[in-house]
Every structure is written in C-alpha cells, then in structure tokens.
C-alpha cells in the first residue's frame, strides 16, 4: 500500500470524496478497471465455488518457441542456429523430433506424470510481427472486428452469472485487451488491491459507513462504488484471509514478479471464490541480442525462471490442481535463423504449453511444417495450428457451458485432443 493509502486509512474519512480518493490511491486494483463499469450490483457476492480455473500466462515480447520446444530432429534447426541452438543430447523429454530446453528441468516431473504438454507451430493465421498490434490481435481473437472486446471477456460474458472476480489480471493495474469488454473484470498489482482502504483493520465501521454514503446514488459511479464495497467485503476478504503457503517459489531475478503473481493466483484459487480466469504477464522475451547459449544468457535465465516459478505454483495448488489448467500464449515467435547479434528477430509461428487439470501430457502436439527452405514463410516457421483452437479446447473441456462460437467468432473449431 502507498503512503497515500495509509494516510487515507488513518484519517478514515468516509465521505464520498474520501472514498473516491482512497480508491484512486489504491490504484487500478479497484479503481481503473471495469470493476467500475455499468454492472448492476448485488448486495454481496456469493460467487459459485468448486468450479474450474484457467490461468493464462502471457509470455510477452515474443518468446522463441524453437528454443523452448526444440526441434532437434530437424536438420534445418542446427543449420539456422550455429551459435545458439540447443544441442540434441541436452534436451529433456525428447522424442525423435522434439525435446524441451534443459532449463525446463523443474517441470520435467509434470511432463513425466502426464500433466504438461506442448503444441508446436501454433499462432495467428496471418503473420503480424509488430508487438503492439499482434498483442491486440491475439487477445481480441476476432479477426476483422472493430469492437475492442477480448476473448476472455467474451468467455466470462457467456456465463450465466457474473462477478468481477470471474477474470482477474495479476501483477498489473491495467486490464489487457483479452479481459477488456462489457463484462466486469479486475486488474490488481496484488491481493491487497482486492480490499478497500481501512477494510482490514476496521471492517465493522468501514463497510456500513460506505454503504450508507453510496446507497442512494443511482448513477454509474454509485453502482460501481457499491460493487467495489461488495467485492472488498466478500471475495476480497476471503482471499486475503486465505493463508499464504510455504511453497518454495524462486526469489531470484527475473523470477520475482512472476513468482509473486503465481503466489497471489494460488491464494485466489485456494480461497475458492469462483474465479474462471487468472491472467498473468511474464515479459522480457524480445531477445534480438543477448540470447546466449544453452548454458547461459537471457534465454536460459528466463526459461529457468519461468519453469521454476510454474513448478512452484503447480505444487502450491495441492489438491486444487485438479481444477486448474495453465496455458501459455505469446504474440508471435522468432525467426528461424539467428541474426548478426546472435539473437532472433520477430517471426511467426510459436509454441504453447499446457499444464494441470485435464491435460493429456507427456506429448508434443501439432503438425510440424519443417524448417527446410521451401517450408519457411519468409524465413519463419509456418503456423499449422490456429492458437484459438488450443484455447478453445481448454474452454470446451473445462468450461462446457461456454459457446466456442461466442468466444471465438468465425473460428472453424478443430480440437487437437489435448485434454480429456
């Protein structure tokens, strides 16, 4: 909490003006999201418990999928990467064509137990090598539409009941495009942002006073304020009262922010407040230079941080892991060939990883187009699987009440058999 928030707590000015100042100080956790939208409020939220949760991990910057799910059986891989390729003997969980980067070792037990799988040559049907517009396209997931409504927002909007905790972005105070739209969603730096200033220390005084201050305001701001109060006093309080586990999350750079987000996600899931989607960002993958080798460099460091953090999260969930499916996504892959700086420029096709509940793991999925010169698209790995089919299969299997045609309009849905 900021000093401004502490000042607000000490003063406890429960006026309408003080309430708004406190919300602004708390930040986008309650103030700058569609939590303050047009949603009609209940007196309190009794979110359905016992449901499934999808954790969407956005690997922002464009991860090099060929460096994570390594096509060691394709000679074109080594021809294109004389200085940066992962040696075949170093790969983990290898079959005749693919293997995992050795820095993924923390996740190997989940691969061996059938809880982790990979899809190669996945992405958008048309290349887009611009970070910003590619992210917008991937997260909107409705080609040709001018409406800025994300696929997660359409997913939660297709449910029969709604609360702002249907979808939560952790580690950032701004809703990503995927969560943007008419259905309420929440962005929060941390779990403290799920509660109003002063609510932890004196809830018996804070909530009645705030309810009285806003109960008669029939406008959008009044409805939004009552929504914030309801979230804070209901699921927000339940999450914050859920014990922090002692799971061994990594604390070294660059894992810190990802570990913190995963810790928060685990507490939300263990609190069982009916959260459908938790979105987390893990950036730093735009490696035009400094990529390194299998033993050291940016790629090895970031892959290891990712793998260690995800492994800690899966372990932290305990029995709740049977309700949680993790899926990774990135705006694009990297070029097949390394550049003059021994890094990789923006490419096209990529890989996706799936872990947890329902995943038919220990397998590599997707149609491999090959890395021969005639198989490449302007030097890039071609897309053979629309990424929406991967997401669509998670939704179909884990949230069978949602319509794929609503979530991904225009998609010719073709599941890969990734989940049971």
Domain residue ranges in the chain: 39-195+244-407
Q: Which SS3 state, helix, strand or coil, does residue 350 take? A: strand
Q: What is the DSSP string of 165-188?
A: GGEEEES-SS--GGG-SSS--EEE
Nearest-angstrom CA–CA distance, 187 and 190: 9
Give the pLDDT score at 228.
75
Give the pLDDT score at 125.
96
This prediction has a pTM of 0.86
- 332/6: higher pLDDT: 332
Fold of 39-195+244-407: Alkaline Phosphatase, subunit A (3.40.720)
**DSSP bridge partners of 99:** 70
Least-confidence region, from 36-40, 230-234, 383-387, 392-396: 36-40
Handedness of CA 359, 360, 363, 369 (dihedral sign): negative
Span 364-386, mean pLDDT? 97
Take residue 27 and report the two structure tokens written for it. Answer: 């930040």
- 341/49: higher pLDDT: 341
Nearest-angstrom CA–CA distance, 398 and 356: 11
Please write the tens of the pLDDT for every residue from 198-228. 777 777 777 787 777 777 777 777 777 777 7
What is the pairing mode between strands 277-281 and 53-58? Answer: parallel
Give the pLDDT score at 275.
92
- Mean pLDDT value across the chain: 86
Do residues 165 and 273 lie in contact, with contact meaning Cβ atoms separated by under 8 Å? yes
Nearest-angstrom CA–CA distance, 35 and 231: 9
Instruction: Provide the percentage of residues in the chain whose pLDDT is more than 90.
Output: 68
Take residue 371 and report the two structure tokens written for it. Answer: 């890395």
CA 321 to chain CA mean position, Å: 16
Give the pLDDT score at 21.
38
Nearest-angstrom CA–CA distance, 51 and 415: 22
Span 137-163, mean pLDDT? 92
What is the pairing mode between strands 277-281 and 167-170? Answer: parallel
| pLDDT of 101 strictly over 50 | yes
Do residues 211 and 173 lie in contact, with contact meaning Cβ atoms separated by under 8 Å? no
């Amino acid at each position: 909490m900021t000093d401004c928030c502490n000042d607000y707590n000490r003063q406890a000015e429960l006026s309408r003006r003080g309430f708004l100042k406190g919300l602004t100080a708390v930040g986008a956790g309650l103030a700058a999201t569609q939590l303050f939208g047009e949603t009609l409020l209940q007196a309190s939220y009794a979110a359905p418990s016992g449901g499934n949760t999808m954790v969407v991990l956005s690997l922002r910057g464009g991860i090099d999928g060929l460096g994570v799910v390594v096509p060691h059986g394709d000679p074109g891989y080594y021809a294109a990467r004389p200085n940066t390729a992962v040696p075949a003997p170093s790969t983990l969980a290898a079959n005749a064509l693919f293997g995992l980067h050795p820095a993924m070792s923390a996740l190997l037990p989940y691969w061996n137990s059938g809880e982790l799988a990979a899809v190669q040559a996945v992405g958008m049907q048309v290349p887009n090598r611009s970070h910003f517009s590619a992210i917008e396209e991937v997260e909107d997931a409705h080609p040709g539409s001018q409406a800025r409504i994300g696929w997660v927002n359409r997913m939660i909007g297709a449910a029969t009941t709604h609360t702002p905790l249907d979808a939560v972005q952790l580690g950032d105070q701004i809703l990503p495009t995927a969560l943007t739209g008419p259905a309420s969603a929440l962005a929060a730096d941390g779990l403290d942002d799920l509660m109003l200033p002063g609510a932890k220390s004196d809830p018996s005084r804070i909530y009645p006073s705030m309810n009285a201050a806003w109960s008669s305001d029939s406008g959008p701001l009044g409805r939004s304020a009552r929504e914030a109060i309801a979230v804070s006093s209901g699921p927000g309080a339940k999450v914050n009262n859920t014990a922090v586990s002692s799971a061994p999350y990594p604390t070294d750079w660059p894992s810190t922010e990802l570990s913190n987000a995963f810790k928060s996600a685990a507490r939300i899931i263990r609190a069982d407040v009916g959260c459908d989607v938790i979105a987390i960002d893990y950036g730093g993958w735009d490696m035009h230079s400094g990529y390194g080798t299998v033993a050291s460099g940016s790629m090895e460091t970031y892959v290891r941080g990712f793998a260690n953090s995800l492994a800690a999260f899966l372990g932290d969930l305990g029995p709740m892991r049977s309700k949680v499916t993790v899926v990774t996504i990135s705006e694009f892959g990297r070029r097949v060939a390394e550049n003059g700086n021994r890094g990789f420029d923006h490419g096209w096709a990529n890989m996706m990883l799936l872990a947890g509940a329902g995943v038919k793991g220990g397998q590599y999925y997707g149609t491999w187009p090959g890395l021969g010169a005639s198989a490449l698209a302007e030097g890039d790995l071609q897309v053979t699987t629309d990424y929406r089919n991967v997401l669509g299969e998670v939704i179909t299997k884990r949230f069978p009440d949602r319509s794929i045609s609503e979530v991904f309009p225009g998609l010719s849905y073709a599941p890969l058999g990734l989940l049971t």
